[in-house]
Amino acid sequence: MNASIPAPDDRPLYRQLADQYRRAIDNGVLRPGDRMPSMRAFMQRHGVSLATATESYRTLERDALIDARPRAGYFVRARPTATLPAATEPDLAAAPGAAQFVGIHSAISAIVSKFQRYPDALNLGGATASPDLYPTDALQKAALRALRRRPTLLTAAGHDQGDPELRAIIARRALDAGIQIGADDVIMTHGGIEAVNLALRAVTQPGDTVAVESPCFFGLLQALESLGLRALEIPASPTTGLAIEALAFALQTHPDIKAVVVVPNLQNPLGSVMPDTHKARLVELCARAGIPLIEDDPYRELADAAQPPRSLKAWDADGTVIHCTSFNKTLAPGMRVGWINGGRWHPRIGMLKFAQSRHNEQLSQVVLAEFLETNAYERHLRRLRDRLRIQRERMAAAIAASFPDGTRFTPPGGGMFFWIELPREVSSSAFFAAALDEGIRVMPGTVFSNAGRFDHFIRLSCPSTDLDQADQAVRRLGRLAARLVAHARTP
């Protein structure tokens, strides 16, 4: 960068220097991942004392512009929010809407059929990471080993609740999420979605009302629809997830709520993580009201934090929480391995699972058991988190640089989703269709609500390890949004 000293002004020197570096970062002269000068080089270049240099770096660090890395120095952080305000927080003063039977499937089918007419479109609308971020080779080798060691894996029937060895390993690992269970408290399921379906079937009857986050994963809305349930949408914050006090109020005003479904960690689509105090309060609230709390937690291990967040189940003292999760998002979308702990309803869920689909296939369970037992899973997770973070930072920068004024979003602390609030003039349905014409799949916000909300939101996911391709796609979307705004404003 240019090392000339800025024109003197009446602010302290350390702040003037920090501002100079801030502009360099904002202009792209310094880019995310670039190394900052060493402290000694900084002092020499600007002719300042160690105290001033230190204070400049502290200022930049406090403003989340640079990061210290132990024994490596300071580096420019990605800073997507630099030019975009955070997503709007929900209006909690508004009265909750009425619980409604869900009718979302036909809208989703329409989107899926439109996707299928553009098979070559770049997929920013999916809910899994790029296939090359999953450990294909290692899983393939593990499967080959498992098949050679246990030739009857395909022909012999398996254990009703799932492979006992795998369930024991899962129970041990659940301690990381703050969950204390044994192997018999785990039932393997066909992905997390079967787990959530079984949980809903265990505690509701058709016609019942279920409280869900708004926005929420459209797969949950489809499950509610297919089970003949009503959804009551409770606002959720882009940063802290479900608004607990809004739920507390709804529980008072809607005595017919029979279950609450929450994605506590890296919520889909928000990317929010509930703070521990909220988690504790939510579990307590449901326990006191005697209402089952269904926790869908497939993204927890994709959080950036050194210590991954805990599951709601960690705060569960009396079996109120039904914990559902899977390895579909973290390890292998093709393996369809999930599991459930049913809390107080565990025996009933075991009955429903047996009656509905019997046991899971054995092979993928044996492969998974080996993966978990040898720490290969942990190694993979670290790599996956790093690569997703790099993708997110790059995409966030492209969004901030290219989307029009009025766009807002809060960068998530992990996972693969961006929940983007477009300017009010832009309908996500129109945006979705126009993006497909540009060869890009995005998910319109309307499918994340049964109550017609989020028409000016879209969900983008990190789809590709080709960062330049994703970057260009996002910039095309940004220009598209700008055109739609301009069009709407044309008299």
Place of tokens 């509701």: 204
Query: Which one of residues 172, 281, 359, 479 is an interface residue with a second copy (CB under 8 A)?
Result: 359
Q: Nearest Cα to 300, choosing from 170, 388, 414, 182? A: 414
Task: Locate 87 and state its tokens.
Answer: 């997503």
Contact at 8 Å (CB) between 296 and 313? no
Site stretch for a second copy (CB under 8 A), options 6-14, 23-31, 43-51, 358-366:
358-366
Q: Residue 486: count other Cβ atoms within 10 Å of its Cβ.
A: 11
Strand residues in 83-216 grouped as ranges (E): 100-101, 122-123, 187-190, 209-214
Site stretch for a second copy (CB under 8 A), options 240-248, 355-363, 388-396, 459-467:
355-363
Query: Which one of residues 154, 305, 486, 488 is an interface residue with a second copy (CB under 8 A)?
Result: 154
Contact at 8 Å (CB) between 289 and 282? no
Query: Which one of residues 80, 158, 292, 478 is an interface residue with a second copy (CB under 8 A)?
Result: 158
The dihedral sign for the CA sequence 188, 194, 196, 200? negative
User: Per-residue string for binding with a second copy, 71-110, x by CB under 8 A?
Assistant: ----------------------------------x---x-
Nearer to a second copy, 361 or 425 (CB): 361
Query: Which one of residues 22, 46, 79, 201 is an interface residue with a second copy (CB under 8 A)?
Result: 201
Name the DSSP class of 416. Answer: S
336 binding a second copy? (CB under 8 A) = yes
Which uninterrupted H or E stretch holds 472? helix 467-489
358 binding a second copy? (CB under 8 A) = yes
Instruction: Identify residues 126-145 at the interface with a second copy (CB under 8 A).
Output: 128, 131, 134-137, 139-140, 143-144
Both ends of the chain: CA-CA distance in Å?
A: 45
Please state, in angstroms and rounded to a whole number, the distance separating the CA atoms of residues 206 and 204.
7
Q: Where are the alpha helices (DSSP H) in 403-453?
A: 428-437
Please state, in angstroms and rounded to a whole number, the distance separating the CA atoms of residues 418 and 151.
44
Q: Give Dmax over CA atoms of the chain in angstroms.
A: 80
Instruction: Identify residues 362-401 at the interface with a second copy (CB under 8 A).
Output: 362-364, 367
Shortest distance, CB of residue 355 to a second copy, whole angstroms?
4
Q: Nearest Cα to 214, choosing from 249, 168, 247? A: 247
Query: Which one of residues 277, 356, 374, 469 is an interface residue with a second copy (CB under 8 A)?
Result: 356
Site stretch for a second copy (CB under 8 A), options 40-48, 161-169, 328-336, 416-424:
328-336
Task: Locate 165 and state its tokens.
Answer: 């060895």
Size of the residue set binding a second copy (CB under 8 A): 55
Nearer to a second copy, 68 or 351 (CB): 351
335 binding a second copy? (CB under 8 A) = yes
Which uninterrupted H or E stretch holds 474? helix 467-489
166 binding a second copy? (CB under 8 A) = no
Query: Which one of residues 222, 268, 391, 402 is an interface residue with a second copy (CB under 8 A)?
Result: 222
Residues that bind a second copy (CB under 8 A): 105, 109, 128, 131, 134-137, 139-140, 143-144, 147-148, 151-158, 190-191, 193-194, 197, 201, 205-206, 219, 222-223, 225-226, 228, 332-336, 351-352, 354-364, 367
